Amino acid sequence: MPNALTISLIPLLPFAGFILLGLFGRKYLKKSSGIIGTVLLLASTIIALYTAYEYFFVYGKVGGGFQKFIPLQLTWLEFSQGVSIDMGILIDPISVMMLVVVTFVSLMVHIYSLGYMKGEERFPVYYSFLGLFTFSMLGLVLACNIFQIYIFWELVGVSSFLLIGYYYEKPSAVAACKKAFIVTRFADLGFLIGILILSFCSGTLDFTTLIQRLTTVGTSEFKTAVSYSFMGVSAVTWGAALVFVGGAGKSAMFPLHIWLPDAMEGPTPVSALIHAATMVVAGVFLVARLFPVLALTTPHVLEIVGWVGAISAVFAALIACTQTDIKRVLAYSTMSQIGYMMFALGVSKYGGENGLGYTASMFHLFTHAMFKALLFLGAGGVIHFVHSNEIKDMGGLRKVLPITHITFLIACLAISGVPPFAGFFSKEEILLAAYQNNIGIYWIALITSGLTAFYMFRLYFNIFWSKPYESHGEHHHGEGGFVMMLPLVLLAIGAAAAGFIPFGEYVSSDGIPLESHFHLQFSIVPVVLALTGVFTAMWMYKTQNDKPAKLATALNGFYTAAYHKFYIDEMYIFVTKKILFNLIGRPAAWFDRNVVDGLVNLAGSTTQAASENIKKFQSGKVQQYAIYFLAGIIVLATLFIYAWK
Amino acid sequence: MMEPGLYHILFISAALFFIGVYGFLTRRNLVTMLMGIELILNSVNLNFIAFNKYVWPAKMTGLFFVLFIIAIAAAEAAVAIAIIINLYRSHHSIDVTNDEDLKY
Amino acid sequence: MISGSTIIFYLLAIQILGCGLLSVSTRQIFRAAIYLLFSLIGIAGIYFWLNYQFIAAVQIVVYVGGIVVLIIFSIFLTQKAGEKLPAQKLGRKVFAALAAVCAFALTMLQVYKYDFKPASDDVQPVTVFNIGSNMISTGDGGYALPFEVISMLLLAAMIGCIVIALRTKPETT
């Protein structure tokens, strides 16, 4: 049985780090804050790995499938009988898997930052924010109650805001963190409304109860959920769709993706942790959590999930082919891979063999965390070395940064889906699931995987091959010390080996282990496509030549559009300024100022005018008082004598 | 014409009273307002004496009231004149419409 | 048959009311004081007509000889007696007159409705002896206490007047 205390230590240790370093870091613990943060997280990781071991191998499997366990559930805020916000821990396959992923990647980032952020003025603050983020993310994956997940969702958003805006003197960083927070907050509005609808329909906020009530056909809640309808669509569909909107915002799905490239203003280890491996997959996690409801009760929403994921994947891949900032390329790559995870969930069905998409999505989440974090940390090393983010300032670095080179190559091979690296296995399962359920999405996925290989290797060759390296005289640090290389190596091992984990044994849509078969004929097509992409990139970028420029002019309009990220940001600004501000904002402000304030002022000014008039009674003229007195007496006397019987 | 009796005197007394009220309300000068007050007081005296004579001849209550009222009226007039003189010294006019010290 | 006393009564009435009206409406202040004087003398006449000689005498001595004189002194002290007083606004005059007339009508209506009957038939003669003995007697119908109180009041009034009208010492320049 899971031990509530040990499991609750997993998020609480980083939280303790946050409090400790936040309160005392700047004054007392400047030098040691990194060590403290890392040690706390190491403890957390060890406990998480132990929990995973216990769950998957000791007690988790009950009666043929992995069961959900709730070792801790404390009622916090009770709205009515049965509807209460609880704080608790839910242990099931995906939450345990996420525990491992989050703590491991966070640990890698903590270790890496010991070297990368060394000498920063606000070093303790950085580690305390990292602790806050890890705590929030862990709380999110352990949430047993949909409102609890919302609370931690917002906390993750806040931590992201703090970390993106870490270099707050840079106006671009400030703008980026605001943008991230506002866009995700806007999506969270949908999430909140979705929560309210779902909890209203099912009469509870607890995940297990909610899922059970909304998926079993006979229950009264199920009947209410499908019978209430608004604009022809049933309540539960609206609820699920709105919850997905929240997830799409956090996971940077089209069209709420605009914040992710700008979020690269934060320090690179932060990008590795938050915007590659953990926070952005929160949306995927949420959809996976509510998967039974989506698959069984609202299949239309699941279709929408699939198409949104697929469109985001190909959209991002196209843009990534043209970007010149290394972190932007990686950001769009992240968006594309999350699109993969989303549509893998979208094409999946519930139960048994049909749940392949679910397993594939979670598998890809796991492997993606490894190689994407690796890519970002490697990029961090490169950026640190050449002091610039642009590709044109890099080239021929393979001799000067050997370890970074090898690990980066492994990660690129993994993401392109070249066997035997991890990405191949997870991508193959996704493509298989898509092929079995939705051919359209399958073709989009296939094209995207070719593009993925192409742009990743474009990046690789531009950094490490392309032109010979000229040192500009400032070689100070070389590659970076042990603390920066260790995470790269560990993550590279993960990226290489994780593919061999039989994921379906542990994580599947209904808990019953899924056997993953290796379909040789099926895998040939994607691998060939990936290798084509690799060799095209090698041909175009291995040495400096004019083939890229010629291709760009050949594809002129399309190239420019992709380079400008398909003008989505401009569209947003247009809609916001011209439509929202002018048509909605201004009239609303006018109404507020003139009507609402006007009414209030009217009350005030009427009173004032009345008092000015009444004031005149106190004229100071005694005779006037006497006249009123006499008149009053006459009136009263008449009244009493004649009118009052 | 009938023998003048209580009602006639009450008529005079009431009329004098309201003449005094009119004078008090209409005059702009403090001293003339004071004259109005004297008329009011006198009308009251007349009233008392009339009632004493026609309704309560056995007692002298009304008469004593009148005596005391006359004495008090004298004292009051003296105090009022003193105040008027004081006011004149500070404002150099005793026009009532100018004195708006009790104004809001 | 109209008797002499009736005629005298009506003449006195006309004097009282006429001089009263003139007193409150004239624009020359000295004339107002004189009209007041005549009005008060008329009232004293009524007292005589009612056979209350003592009160009439008190009226003349105190009111006419004291208060009106005091008023005339104050007129001379505070303004030039020959000047015409500024007039009051017409609206004020009309409103006040209206109010006074209405109130008068109301009062008289009530008065005429009521039937005043003498309370008892025995009459106490109003002689100076009776007045005096009642004034200082403490028994039933005695007014010793008010007498004492009023002497205190007159003392207070006298002191008050002196204090109020005291001229403050002019500052040495």
The CATH number of the domain where B65 resides is what? 1.10.287.3510
Query: Residue B23 is part of which domain span?
Result: 6-91
Task: Centre a 10 Å sphere on the Cβ of residue A121 and count the other Cβ atoms it contains.
Answer: 9
pLDDT at residue A435, as a whole number: 87
Rounded distance between C-alpha atoms, residue C109 and residue A360, angstroms:
108
Evaluate the CA torsion angle A220, A221, A226, A230 in order and state its sign: positive
Angle CA A41–A44–A50, to nearest 5: 145
The per-type count for chain A, helices as H runs and strands as E runs, is 27, 6
d(Cα A345, Cα A352) in Å, to the nearest integer?
Answer: 14
- The per-residue b/e assignment along C30-47, b for 16 or more CB within 10 angstroms, e otherwise, is eebbbbbbbbbbbbbbbb
Please tell me chain C's helix, strand, coil percentages from 3-state DSSP, rounded to the nearest 5. 70, 0, 25
Distance from CA of A627 to the nearest CA of C (A): 7
* Mean pLDDT value of segment A44-54: 91
Angle at A128 between CA A123 and CA A131, to 5 degrees: 130
Element (H, E) at A363: helix A356-386
For chain A, first and last CA: distance in Å? 90
From chain A, the residues in CB contact with C99 under 8 A are 627, 630-631, 634
Residue (of A292, A295, A334, A296) closest to A317 by Cα position: A334
Q: What is A207-247 written as a DSSP string?
A: HHHHHHHHHSTTSHHHHHHHH-EETTEEHHHHHHHHHHHHH
Contact C19, C64 (CB under 8 A): no
Q: Look up residue A121 and give its two tokens.
A: 């003025």
Cα–Cα dist A308/A246, whole Å:
13
Q: Do C134 and B64 touch (CB under 8 A)?
A: yes
The predicted model gives A415-421 an average pLDDT of 86
* pLDDT cut 70: percent of chain A above it: 98
Q: What 3 state SS string does A77-141 have?
A: EEEECCEEEEEEEEECHHHHHHHHHHHHHHHHHHHHHHHHCCCCCCHHHHHHHHHHHHHHHHHHH
Residue A514 CA to its chain's centroid (Å): 28
Task: For residue A187, give both structure tokens.
Answer: 């999506």
Residue A7 has pLDDT above 90, yes or no: no
Percent of chain A with pLDDT over 90: 25
Q: Minimal Cα–Cα distance from B11 to chain A, Å?
A: 18
Contact check, Cβ <8 Å, A620/B100: yes
Residue A252 structure tokens: 């940077």
> Going by C-beta distance under 8 Å and a sequence separation of 6 or more, which residues neighbour residue A443?
none
Report how far residue A489's alpha carbon sits from residue A497's, in angstroms, rounded to the nearest whole number.
Answer: 12
Residues 70-99 on B with a CB inside 8 Å of C are 70-79, 81-86, 88-89, 94-95
Q: Burial, A583: exposed, middle or buried (Cβ in 10 Å; 0-12, 13-18, 19+)?
A: exposed
Structure tokens at A223: 């009947």
Which of A618 and A335 is assigned the larger pLDDT?
A: A335
A630–B21 C-beta distance less than 8 A: yes
CB contact under 8 A, A630 and C99: yes
What are the tokens at A480? 């970076």
Q: What is the DSSP letter of B29?
A: B
pLDDT of residue B104: 58
Q: Which residue is associated with the tokens 């043209």? A: A322
Average pLDDT, chain A: 86
Residue with tokens 């309210």: A196
Of A532-536, B59-63, C88-92, which range is least confident? C88-92
- Tokens representing A332 are 């769009």
The residue assigned the tokens 């008797």 is C3
Interface residue A637 vs chain C (CB under 8 A): yes
H-helix or E-strand spanning residue A66: strand A65-66
Per-residue pLDDT reduced to its tens digit, B14-55: 999 999 999 998 888 888 999 999 999 999 999 999 999 998
Three-state secondary structure call for residue A535: helix
What ipTM is given for this predicted complex? 0.89
For residue A413, the SS3 value is helix
pLDDT at residue C91, rounded to an integer: 84
Paired strand residues for A466: A543
DSSP β-ladder status, A61-62 and A65-66:
antiparallel
Which carries the bigger pLDDT value, residue A512 or residue C131?
Answer: C131
Q: Using the beta-carbon criterion (under 8 Å), do B54 and C112 form an inter-chain contact?
A: no
Q: Alpha helices of A251-325 — where are they, by DSSP H?
A: 259-262, 268-272, 282-289, 291-292, 299-320
Between A554 and A409, residue with greater pLDDT: A409
Compute the nearest-CA separation of C33 from chain A (Å): 20
CB contact under 8 A, C104 and B15: yes
Measured over the CA atoms of residue C101, residue C103, residue C107 and residue C113, the dihedral's sign is positive
Query: Does the structure show a pLDDT above 80 at A183?
Result: yes
Q: Which chains touch C (3 or more CB pairs under 8 A)?
A: A, B
The answer to whether residue B101 sits within a structural domain is no
Is the separation of the CB atoms in A259 and A334 below 8 Å?
Answer: no
Residues of chain B by 3-state class (helix, strand, coil), percent to 5: 75, 0, 20
Distances (CA, A) of A316 to A43, A254, A296, A530, C51: 37, 9, 30, 17, 124
The count of structural domains within chain B is 1
Q: Is residue B67 part of a domain?
A: yes
The reply to whether residue B88 touches residue C131, judged by beta carbons under 8 angstroms, is no
- Tell whether omega for the bond before A420 is within 30 degrees of 0, i.e. cis: yes
More confident site: A320 or A398:
A320
Residues of C85-121 as b/e, b for ≥16 C-beta within 10 angstroms? beebeeebeebbeebbebbbebbeeeeeeeeeeeeee
Distances in whole angstroms, Cα of residue A78 to Cα of each of A11, A83, A151? 24, 6, 16
Contacts (Cβ under 8 Å, ≥6 apart) of A54: A2, A60
Give the confidence band of A485 by pLDDT, cuts at 50, 70, 90: confident
> Nearest C-alpha of chain B: how many angstroms from A630?
9
Compute the distance between CA of residue C151 and CA of residue C144 in angstroms, rounded to an integer.
Answer: 11
Q: Would you give the end-to-end CA distance of chain C in angstroms?
A: 77
Residue B75 lies in a domain: yes
Name the residue in chain B with its Cα closest to that of A612.
B104
Closest residue in chain A to residue B33, using alpha carbons only: A623
**Which of 590-629 (A) contact C at CB < 8 A?**
623, 627
Is A633 touching C (CB cutoff 8 A)?
yes
**B53 part of a folded domain:** yes
Q: Which helix (H) or strand (E) holds A74?
A: strand A69-80
The count of C-alpha atoms lying within 13 angstroms of the C-alpha of C136, restricted to the half-sphere facing its C-beta, is: 4
CB atoms within 10 A of CB C158: 13
Highest mean pLDDT (candidates A225-229, A349-353, C58-62): C58-62
| A284, A361 Cβ separation under 8 angstroms | yes
Residue-wise DSSP of C53-83: HHHHHHIIIIIIIIIIHHHHHHHHHHS-TTS
In one letter, which amino acid is A252?
A
DSSP string, C80-93: -TTSBPPPPPHHHH
Question: Six-digit token pair at B57?
Answer: 């001849």
The answer to whether the Cβ–Cβ distance between B96 and A626 falls below 8 Å is: no
Specify if B100 maps to a domain.
Answer: no
Q: Does the pLDDT at position A583 exceed 60?
A: yes
| Over residues C72-99, mean pLDDT | 82
CB pair distance less than 8 Å for B11 and C108: yes
Q: Where is average pLDDT lowest: A623-632, B12-21, C119-128, C152-161?
A: C119-128
Kindly tell me if the per-residue pLDDT of A116 is higher than 80: yes
Any idea which residue has 């690789």 for tokens?
A460
Amino acid A401: pLDDT: 85
What are the pLDDT digits (tens) for C139-170? 877 889 999 999 999 999 999 988 887 777 66
Q: How far is C45 from chain B (nearest CA, A)?
A: 11
B77 belongs to a structural domain: yes
Answer yes or no: is pLDDT of C135 > 70. yes
Query: Please, which pLDDT band fits residue C1 given cuts at 50, 70 and 90?
Result: low
Q: Counting runs of H as helices and runs of E as strands, what totals does chain C give?
A: 7, 0
Q: Which DSSP letter does residue A76 get?
A: E
- In angstroms, the CA A320 to CA A335 distance is 10
- For residue A19, what are the CA distances in angstroms to A16, A159, C45? 5, 14, 105
Distance of alpha carbon C142 from alpha carbon C144, whole angstroms: 6
Q: What pLDDT is attached to residue C23?
A: 93
